[in-house]
Amino acid sequence: MKPVLRWLALLAIALLALQLFFVTRIAVMARLDPQSTAFQRSEAWRVLREKGRLPWRQRWVPYAQISDKLKQAVIASEDDGFSNHDGVDWDALEKAWQKNARAQAQAAKTQAARKPGATAISSKPAVRAPKVVGGSTITQQLAKNLFLSGERTLLRKGQEFVLTLLLEALLDKQRILEIYLNSVEWGEGVFGAEAAAQHYFRKPAAALNAYEAARLAVMLPRPKYFEKLPNSSYLAERAQHIAGRLGSAELP
């Protein structure tokens, strides 16, 4: 029994040390801009392995040098309660869980309806796994990008919640949004608002108009996908919708 207790104690100490490390890193970010994120380092390694070179666009700009329209567009598109919640939008999270549960149930029902061994059915394509909806806030996305891997496990999700609360406790909303907009991915090797504005519109992030800001915001869930489809009708229509909602987006 003693060896088990000893290992549990060591595990608890290790977890505590890890959280203290995160606290220190986040506290430093109140004054110093992060040089890179865990997601960026992972992407850099992937691109370098696949292409043998590292095309990289990123240039940090202060909060005041990012168009308010882009800030509003990202909030309207990604997290309309950003300025008021504590880092987690519990209502959106509950809706996401319900949607995922319905999708899983429908997938299981469809799979069960396919009787194995029937030749007429065996030729049908396999049931695709339902898309998982996350309901993540801007702060949660930042927590994941800054520190965590892309794997989907309960342990990683639990750590994401802890980091989200730490970010909200140690940084103000403006700083959280500033770090997010300077580090989020907007295409293959394109990170941050300034690089995205230059890459897509050949202008600084401070000069983006409402529609340009909305297009960038709409790209965020799938930036590399939309980078290859600049004439996407969905992208254009969704951008028009988000551009019309900028006035209702509350800035921190």
Q: Per residue in 161-209, pLDDT tens?
A: 999 999 999 999 999 999 999 999 999 999 999 999 999 999 999 999 9
Between 131 and 20, the more confident residue is: 20
Q: Is the pLDDT of residue 17 over 80?
A: yes
Q: Is the pLDDT of residue 118 over 50?
A: no
pLDDT of 76 = 96
| CB distance 206 to 66 below 8 Å | yes
Mean pLDDT of the chain: 87
87, two tokens: 């880092």
Q: Given pLDDT bands bounded at 50, 70 and 90, which one contains residue 23?
A: very high
Rounded Cα–Cα distance for residues 72 and 74 (Å): 6
pLDDT of 119 = 46
Rounded Cα–Cα distance for residues 81 and 137 (Å): 8
Rounded Cα–Cα distance for residues 82 and 193 (Å): 18
Rounded Cα–Cα distance for residues 244 and 234 (Å): 15
- Residue 191, phi then psi, degrees to nearest 5: -130, 130
Query: What own/partner pairs with CB < 8 Å and gap ≥ 24 does 104-112 have?
Result: 104/130, 106/130
pLDDT of 54 = 79
Q: Is the pLDDT of residue 107 over 70?
A: no
What residues contact residue 12 under an 8 Å CB cut-off, 6+ apart?
none
SS3 57: strand
| CB distance 155 to 60 below 8 Å | no
Q: Given pLDDT bands bounded at 50, 70 and 90, which one contains residue 66?
A: very high
| CB distance 139 to 164 below 8 Å | yes
Q: Per residue in 152-167, pLDDT tens?
A: 778 888 899 999 999 9
Angle, CA 214 vertex, CA 35 and CA 206 arms, to 5°: 55
pLDDT of 249 = 94
SS3 content of the chain, % helix, strand, coil (to 5): 65, 0, 35
Q: Is the pLDDT of residue 89 over 70?
A: yes
Rounded Cα–Cα distance for residues 15 and 149 (Å): 17
Q: Per residue in 211-242, pLDDT tens?
A: 999 999 999 999 999 999 989 999 999 999 99
Its pTM stands at: 0.83
Q: Given pLDDT bands bounded at 50, 70 and 90, which one contains residue 103?
A: low
Q: By C-alpha distance, which of 172, 150, 170, 152 is closest to 162?
A: 170
